[in-house]
A and B are shown apart, each in its own frame.
Chain A
Amino acid sequence: MAIPLKYNIRSLLVRRVSTAMTAGGIALVVAVFVIVMAMVAGLGSAISDTGSPDNVVVVRKGSTTETSSAVQLDQFDALKFLPQIKRDADGNPLASPELPVQVLMQRSGGASDNVVVRGVLPVALQVHQNVHLIEGRMFKPALNEVIVGKALVGRYANTGVGSTMHFGRGNWRVVGIFDAGGSSFESEVWADIHNVQDDTQRGAYYACARLKMLAGTDVDALIRRIADDPRINLQAQTETDYYKDQSVVANQLRALGMIVAIIMGIGAVFAAMNTMYAAVSARTTEIGTLRALGFRPGAVLGSFLLESLALAVAAGVLGVILALPINGFSTSFGNFVTFSTMAFAFRVTPAVMLQALLFAAVMGVLGGWLPARQAMKMQVVEALRKG
């Protein structure tokens, strides 16, 4: 009972120029959508992939981030023997004291950025399970040796294994490169915590501690214990929660991106509407004939709606293809929450592509709706008279 689809497809192809330009417009809007969503996806995963649900971040009470926190040595000593903390094969607690500081590092191009140098002990590699050395070896204590996150390699000067980096108040030899699963750790340099303490001249203290919990630990109880114990008196939260709070920028960008895409989508809908109205107007006689032959008004509505939808989805596919090259393109931005530069890569995930096509489909339906209704409501006699 339906008007055959080939009628619509061929009608679209016959009005080549008009179809092409409308499709072009929709394709561009979809491309913008993909770019923005890919950026958000990339940012989101760089930030959120950083956190592990079985790790806990401990900072000073009232601190917002680890970079504006201070934990005393005795507090850490009291902390690290808590029973909820997992131990390694030798019985040592997987508690990693850390001192991340922002230092100015020169990029390959010459300008400088604030980059996080994280003072750690070797136990950090066991606590941060997503961090793996992919080249070279772990640094040895007290030798100003460092391992570099792979997102920094090539971007910043002297980041190859064996090179000497200049930051802070001294020289640091790169002995290894590490991969951190795309998380923000990949934009960091890791050094011996004592070297970092000496370099910043702020005395012997830590900024925060990362603890690995035993499976099945009551997290809330642990958090309360850390806060209430007078010897510890610190603030704790799971790593995943910690990084969620940090993603304020990513969320703002997602909101902004969606707004831009939606507003552009509205513009595209108007364009599609224009084209479809023109199509309906040019095919008035055809519509009258189809109705006269016995096709129901609903069939006419469905047919034009389908035509608009087909056009939009085809354009959507084109738009996705246009935007695809941005996948994997990595850049960095200044995360003003941590006050440092973080690298991330645009990620055109299957979810993003699907959302883009859905977006295109919605534009097609919205753009085609009113014109299709007009086609449906045409009086047969009037329509035929125009012939």
Chain B
Amino acid sequence: MDEKYAIEIDHVTRVYKRDEFEVRALDDVTLKVPEARFVAIMGPSGSGKTTMLNLIAGIDHATSGRVAVGGEEITSMRERDLAAWRARHIGLVFQFYNLIPVLTAFENVELPLLLTHLRKAERRQHVETALKVVGLADRMDHYPRQLSGGQEQRVAIARAIVTDPTIVVADEPTGDLDAKSAEEILNLLTELNRQFHKTIVMVTHDPRAERYVDTVYRLDKGILAGIERGKSAAQPAAAGASA
């Protein structure tokens, strides 16, 4: 069966220069992620997992190879088009939440919607829904500094899903959280995947993550070192991990 893939990485290499040194962040990596999966990219620091994530999210360009997300090839897109594409298709969650400190929770979640043509009333609706999903509807008017770490990350997740993106991309979402908050976030992400069928790609070195995801891609020194089944309870039928 030819499943539709959410993400296709095809012989991708990413080389960049740091002063005079050349760094091979990714070296001829190939992998495909089917739709509606919750997957993790793991590996030691320097393994290239953040680079991989950046390529998927369209905020970095491969040196060679092909990257396609949601069926669209983004490797050759111009920066302007890429920005618009990102706004529509990608939801981003960062390790340090990256909320704009001078905007309230509501306004932060609203940000991606400003890139659409929705009217104010419609935007409000989407924002309220997103905040409800993450369980923070009552903190709409709070500023980031008035929220705990876990709450900030939830707002960030709300922001990531408010445009109903194709893929949610998370870079170490639990990296800065205590155990309890980390669990809450991982549960939330699982919810999003189960209930709303969102494809979620998470870069992490939190070993707990393995219990929540469907597949784990291991990277080491820029190479795909292995693909394992995650230990999550419900697994979608059919193979779908290897190329």
Contact = CB atoms under 8 A, between A and B. Distances in A.
A233 B79 CA distance: 80
Interface string B67-96: 000000000000110011111101010111
A292 B57 contact: yes
Contacts of A298: 80
B54 interface: yes
A384 interface: yes
B86 A293 contact: yes
A279 to B, nearest CB: 12
Interface string A25-54: 000000000000000000000000000000
Contacts of A387: 94-96, 98
B115 interface: yes
B98 A294 contact: no
Interface stretch (B30-38, B101-109, B201-209, B217-225): B101-109
A293 B54 CA distance: 12
Contact of A295 (B59, B95, B107, B115): B115
B98 A384 contact: yes
B103 A10 contact: yes
A300 to B, nearest CB: 10
Contacts of A297: 79-80, 83
Contacts of A293: 86-87, 92, 111-112, 115, 159
A286 interface: yes
B84 A294 contact: yes
B115 A1 contact: yes
B98 A285 contact: yes
B83 A11 contact: no
A6 interface: yes
A3 B83 CA distance: 14
A289 interface: yes
B60 interface: yes
Interface string B153-195: 0000001000000000000000000000000000000000000
B64 to A, nearest CB: 17
A380 B107 CA distance: 22
Contacts of B111: 290, 293
B147 interface: no
Interface string A269-311: 0000000000000000110111111111110000000000000
Given A293-B87, A380-B59, A387-B98, A2 B114 contact: yes
A292 B79 contact: no
A4 interface: yes
A10 B145 CA distance: 14
Interface residues of B, number: 28
Given A286-B100, A291-B59, A294-B115, A381 B83 contact: no
Interface string B208-232: 0000000000000000000000000
Contacts of A286: 98, 100-101
A384 B59 contact: yes
Contacts of A7: 100, 102-103
Interface string B27-60: 0000000000000000000000000001001011
Contact of B86 (A10, A292, A381): A292
Contacts of B100: 7, 286, 289-290
Interface string B96-131: 101011110001000110110000000000000000
A2 B83 CA distance: 13
A14 interface: yes
B98 A289 contact: yes
Given A294-B112, A295-B115, A384-B94, A14 B102 contact: yes
Contact of B80 (A289, A292, A296, A384): A296
Nearest to A289: B98
A240 B85 CA distance: 66
A384 B57 CA distance: 13
B83 A294 contact: yes
Contacts of B83: 291, 294-297
Contacts of A1: 114-115
Nearest to B115: A294
Interface in A179-236: none
B156 to A, nearest CB: 10
A337 to B, nearest CB: 58
A296 B78 CA distance: 11
B138 to A, nearest CB: 22
A6 B112 contact: no
A13 B101 CA distance: 12
B94 A289 contact: yes
Interface in A363-387: 380-381, 384, 387
Contacts of B84: 294, 296
Contacts of B57: 292
9 contacts: A3-B114, A289-B92, A290-B100, A292-B59, A293-B115, A294-B84, A296-B83, A296-B84, A380-B54
Interface of B: 54, 57, 59-60, 79-80, 83-88, 90, 92, 94-96, 98, 100-103, 107, 111-112, 114-115, 159
Q: Which 8 A-B pairs have the closest CB atoms?
A: A294-B87, A10-B102, A289-B98, A294-B86, A380-B59, A296-B83, A381-B60, A294-B83
Given A1-B114, A296-B83, 12 more contacts: A2-B114, A3-B114, A10-B103, A14-B102, A285-B98, A286-B98, A290-B100, A293-B86, A293-B112, A294-B90, A296-B80, A384-B59
